[in-house]
Amino acid sequence: MNRNKNTKELLVSSFKEQLLHTPFEKITVKMITDKAGVIRTTFYNYFKDKYEIFEYILEKELFAVLYALVENDLESEALKMIFTFFDKNRSFYKEAFKTAGQNSFEEILSKKVFKLCKILIKKHGLKIDIKNEALTVDVIAKYYAIGIVYVLKMWILDNNNEKITSEEVYDAYIYLITHNILEILE
């Protein structure tokens, strides 16, 4: 069992290294397995395709921790951790965000953040003081998921934003979601 875990981690490590030097669309399963020192069919024992590696990395390295923080009533820390995590792993995620099309990294991340938002809503309920059928749980969760992912993507991909800290981006995000556009106009 331990060998299987090591093999899976070798494949993930190989993929991460490849992405830092090769555009995602040019990375092949063979490239990943060659670098990991395993045969090509071994890859399919762990992943159905290279997109699934993104899901695995996000789940293992970020979302498992976020779920634990939420479970322990540390929601603010969980939200801050998202920005800190992407900052610490900026080089990898800069390349990850460049993937496009169906199953893009952005789409995979959006689904994971959407799920997290739904967990938060389920745990705390909603304080909506207007009756509006357009404000469903899914609509609200999607709104916040898209916002978080968009802010992360713009921050990570913009070379000028490398000087902006994760704390500053987090604070800017909180400011924007707590003020409507009319409140920030002069």
Give the range of the structural domain holding residue 152, as residue numbers without chain letter.
Answer: 72-183
Q: Given a cut of 70, is residue 4 above it in pLDDT?
A: no
Per-residue model confidence (pLDDT) at position 82: 98
Assess if residue 6 is contained within a domain: no
Assess if residue 137 is contained within a domain: yes
Task: Indicate the number of domains in the chain.
Answer: 1
Q: What is the pLDDT of residues 129-184, one digit of tens each?
A: 778 888 999 999 999 999 999 999 999 998 776 789 999 999 999 999 999 999 99
Assess if residue 96 is contained within a domain: yes
Q: Given a cut of 60, is residue 12 above it in pLDDT?
A: yes
What string of H, E and C letters represents the secondary structure of the chain? CHHHHHHHHHHHHHHHHHHHHCCHHHCCHHHHHHHHCCCHHHHHHHCCCHHHHHHHHHHHHHHHHHHHHHHCCCHHHHHHHHHHHHHHCHHHHHHHCCCCCCCCHHHHHHHHHHHHHHHHHHHHCCCCCCCCCCCCHHHHHHHHHHHHHHHHHHHHHCHHHHHCCHHHHHHHHHHHHHCCHHHCCC
Assess if residue 13 is contained within a domain: no
